[in-house]
Amino acid sequence: MRRMKRVRRISSREDIFVDTIVYIVITFVFLVTLYPFYYSLVISFNNGIDAARGGIFLWPRQFTFDNYKAVFSNDQLLGAFFISVSRTVIGTIASLIATSVFAYGLSHKKLLFRKFYFSLLIISMYFTGGIIPYFILLNNLKLTNSYLVYIIPSLITAWYAILFVNFFQSIPEALKESAKIDGANDLVIFGKIIVPLSTPIFATIALYMGVYHWNDWYSTAFFTQNKRLRTLAYILIDLINRSDLTSILRGGTTQKDVAIAMQTFTPETIRMATMMVVVIPIVCVYPFLQKYFVKGIMVGSIK
């Protein structure tokens, strides 16, 4: 008995030591990951001229909202915000519908030419025609300089379709068969059985698609020249590539405003404030979808 107690004490001490090391490592990684975001937030609320002196690490030294006032006074930003929000909502919903319906068809093992369709899907993941043929294709389809260039090309994504297929195939066939016995067709089965049971995968892919649409500046830079179609992500990239404050604040501001701004702001603080405007909305959405990531696959029972 004494020997057993000694073994338990030793093992418990080892467990405590290992757990302590794990917690220390996790805490360190968490802080290293979080601090750049926190630092950007702190700088965005600090006076620009004061921030240029350096030495700011944990909180603003001269707290101010002037950076955000300058950002929101830019008329281009408000239009870009509307484009980004509408594109994210419409693009995500349209992509979910198109990709899930396409994947539901592929999930049927008796589908005619199923292997052929799957092969085309896999090939599209690894091989592309390149940027120039892609641009020519979009131009011939009259999608360049159009709002639809943000929606149509990303309707179906091969990798997300494969995830949907694997998830749909994990749902017991007995559910579908019992519904067919009751007279339900494939559309009813998909809408009333498959979709409710697939909430976790829908939420996960919706988050991925939403982040893609929100962060995409590539489409704006290469396929649109219309300033009204610029997105927030493109505005941020544009600000990062600029160096002088006059060009950063040129939208919606007068020369007098710029002269006053040069006594308060710096390009760095304006960039940080713009970055927060771009990042915070998607960060706020994530907690509402996170709960679906840990949900079980089945939320019902076989009839």
The SS3 call for residue 15 is helix
Beta carbons of 265 and 245 less than 8 angstroms apart: yes
Quote the pLDDT of residue 296: 40
* Chain segment 118-130, per-residue pLDDT in tens: 888 888 888 877 8
Quote the pLDDT of residue 47: 80
Q: Is the model's pLDDT at 147 over the cut of 60?
A: yes
* Chain segment 59-94, per-residue pLDDT in tens: 888 888 888 887 777 777 888 889 999 999 999 999
Residue 295: pLDDT band by 50, 70, 90 thresholds? Answer: low
Higher-confidence position of 146 and 16: 146
Strand runs labelled E in 91-159: none
Residue 55: pLDDT band by 50, 70, 90 thresholds? Answer: confident
- Could you give the percent of the chain with pLDDT greater than 90? 16
63 forms bridges with which residues in the sheet? 46
The structure's pTM equals 0.77
Whole-angstrom distance, CA of residue 62 vs CA of residue 226: 39
Beta carbons of 221 and 149 less than 8 angstroms apart: no
Q: Is the model's pLDDT at 245 over the cut of 60?
A: no
**Tokens standing for 241?**
């590539």
Burial of 96 (0-12, 13-18, 19+ CB in 10 A): buried
CA angle, 151 then 211 then 59, to 5°: 140
Beta carbons of 150 and 138 less than 8 angstroms apart: no
Q: Is the model's pLDDT at 260 over the cut of 80?
A: no
Quote the pLDDT of residue 11: 59
Q: Is the model's pLDDT at 235 over the cut of 50?
A: yes
Lowest mean pLDDT among 26-35, 88-97, 257-266, 268-277: 257-266
Helices (H), 170-266: 173-181, 186-189, 195-197, 199-215, 218-223, 232-241, 245-248, 255-261
Beta carbons of 288 and 206 less than 8 angstroms apart: no
Whole-angstrom distance, CA of residue 296 vs CA of residue 167: 12
CATH fit for domain 66-294, picks 2.40.10.120, 1.10.3720.10, 3.40.50.720, 3.40.50.80: 1.10.3720.10
Dihedral angle over CA of 143, 145, 148, 151, nearest 10:
100
Query: What is the CA 230 to chain-centroid distance, rounded?
Result: 18
Please give the average per-residue pLDDT across 261-277, as a whole number: 76
The SS3 call for residue 63 is strand
Whole-angstrom distance, CA of residue 151 vs CA of residue 95: 8
Please give the average per-residue pLDDT across 231-242, as a whole number: 81
Beta carbons of 263 and 240 less than 8 angstroms apart: no
Higher-confidence position of 89 and 204: 89
